[in-house]
């Protein structure tokens, strides 16, 4: 269940006189309507189900990989067809697509589990990377043996080999790209965000960061009440920082981080995940964003 609040745009249209009388607020009145969505999902909890689901789907993907090899070498497809080549290709492509679907779905479950229960940074960078990018590693396992076997096969003619290997390579690239976690978070960073940020945070459908400041009032002086990076979005999601992280928004927006103090929110940025990476790596960048974007900020709250 999700609560949706749609801004009343008719109200704005009914007050043209007010707008004309207040030219200073014209940009605010011209603002696009935004929908505020409050996801009502339980957060935290066990990640065992997600991880078991991911592993099972990776096994399904490997089975599909084996079937794809059997299809292209006509190991079994030939037995139920009188049109071998056409059905060979249908079966091969079908199993490659199933392989992709299982692999990509598994990686999404795995990433979700990692955002709910992230790994500690203390286990070392290499293990942290392996754990978070297991989706990419599994994508390689689910496609590279297929590609190697295709290229090495002496049963297949050159044309069949080449076409099948290209199909498998494209599938590998798509699966790898969809399986990578581009914004991983560590247990320490999640704990810090949860302990430092108590109120609601906001995020957009396609953004990967969460924001601190959103009022959404079309008649208000925008810069004082909203982070500019969510002002143009048609939908704004609202929830706790835990919900934001579990939805994949693992880093705080650098603009919001730089302006938190102006908004009366005290943050220890050195400990927070600002724009991906560790906050300590990024903290020097924050004042840069501040100086370029700050002139429009007049404070607030
Ligand atoms: Zn922001």
CB atoms within 10 A of CB 66: 15
pLDDT at position 25 is: 40
- What is the pTM for the complete model shown? 0.75
Decide: helix, strand or coil at residue 15: coil
Q: Check residue 122 and report its DSSP letter.
A: G
Closest CA to 178 of 67, 102, 92, 126: 102
Decide: helix, strand or coil at residue 234: coil
Q: Check residue 157 and report its DSSP letter.
A: -
Q: Which DSSP string corresponds to 240-268?
A: -HHHHHHTT--EE-HHHHHHTTTTT----
Q: State how far the Cα of 242 lies from the Cα of 281, in Å rounded to an integer.
A: 23
CA of 22 to the centre of ligand 1 (A): 27
CA of 41 to the centre of ligand 1 (A): 23
State residue 4 phi and psi, 5-degree precision: -120, 130
Query: Is residue 246 within 8 Å of residue 112, measured between CB atoms?
Result: yes
Task: State percent of the chain over pLDDT 70.
Answer: 72
Among the listed ranges 1-5, 41-45, 142-146, 294-298, which one has the minimum average pLDDT value?
294-298
pLDDT at position 255 is: 86
Q: Buried b / exposed e across 272-295, counting CB within 10 Å, b at 16+?
A: bbbbbebbeebbeebeebbeebee
Quote the tokens at residue 201: 């945070």
Quote the tokens at residue 20: 């004309």
| 280-295 tens-digit pLDDT | 333 333 333 333 333 3
- CB-neighbour burial class of residue 296 (10 A; exposed 0-12, middle 13-18, buried 19+): exposed
Write out the residues surrounding ion ligand 1, Cβ under 5 A. Answer: 211, 227, 229, 253, 255-256
Q: State how far the Cα of 78 lies from the Cα of 85, in Å rounded to an integer.
A: 9
Higher pLDDT, 150 or 199: 150
Q: Which residues pair with 2 in a beta bridge?
A: 39
CA of 230 to the centre of ligand 1 (A): 7
Query: If you average pLDDT over residues 255-261, what whole number do you get?
Result: 86
CA of 226 to the centre of ligand 1 (A): 8
| 66-90 tens-digit pLDDT | 999 988 887 776 565 566 677 888 8
Query: If you average pLDDT over residues 168-193, what whole number do you get?
Result: 95
Residues 6+ apart with CB under 8 A from 171: 96, 97, 99, 100, 143
Residue corresponding to tokens 């292209």: 72
Q: With 60 as the cut, is the pLDDT of residue 222 above it? A: no
CA of 50 to the centre of ligand 1 (A): 30
| 103-139 tens-digit pLDDT | 999 999 999 999 999 999 999 999 999 999 999 999 9
CA of 240 to the centre of ligand 1 (A): 15
pLDDT at position 81 is: 59
Query: If you average pLDDT over residues 13-20, what whole number do you get?
Result: 39
Quote the tokens at residue 205: 């459908």
């Amino acid at each position: 269940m999700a609560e949706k609040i749609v801004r009343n745009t008719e109200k704005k249209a009914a007050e043209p006189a007010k707008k004309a009388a207040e030219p200073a607020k014209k940009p605010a009145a011209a603002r696009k309507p935004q929908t505020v969505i409050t996801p009502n999902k339980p957060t935290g909890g066990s990640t065992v189900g997600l991880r078991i689901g991911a592993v099972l789907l990776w096994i399904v993907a490997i089975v599909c990989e084996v079937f794809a090899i059997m299809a292209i070498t006509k190991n079994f497809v030939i037995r139920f067809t009188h049109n071998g080549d056409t059905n060979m290709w249908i079966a091969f492509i079908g199993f490659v697509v199933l392989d992709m679907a299982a692999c990509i779905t598994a990686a999404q479950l795995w990433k979700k589990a990692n955002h709910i229960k992230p790994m500690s940074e203390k286990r070392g960078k290499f293990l942290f990377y392996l754990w978070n990018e297991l989706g990419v590693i599994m994508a390689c396992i689910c496609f590279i043996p297929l590609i190697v076997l295709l290229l090495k096969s002496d049963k297949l003619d050159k044309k069949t080999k080449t076409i099948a290997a290209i199909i498998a390579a494209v599938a590998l690239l798509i699966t790898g790209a969809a399986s990578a976690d581009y914004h991983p978070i560590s247990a320490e960073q999640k704990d810090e965000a949860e302990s430092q940020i108590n109120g609601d945070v906001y995020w957009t459908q396609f953004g990967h960061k969460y924001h601190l400041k959103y009022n959404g009032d079309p008649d208000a002086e925008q810069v004082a009440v909203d982070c500019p990076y969510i002002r143009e979005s048609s939908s704004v999601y609202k929830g706790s920082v835990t919900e934001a992280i579990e939805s994949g928004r693992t880093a705080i927006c650098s603009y919001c981080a730089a302006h938190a103090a102006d908004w009366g929110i005290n943050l220890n940025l050195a400990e927070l995940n600002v724009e991906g990476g560790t906050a300590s790596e990024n903290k020097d960048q924050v004042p840069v964003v501040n100086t370029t974007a700050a002139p429009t900020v007049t404070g607030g709250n």
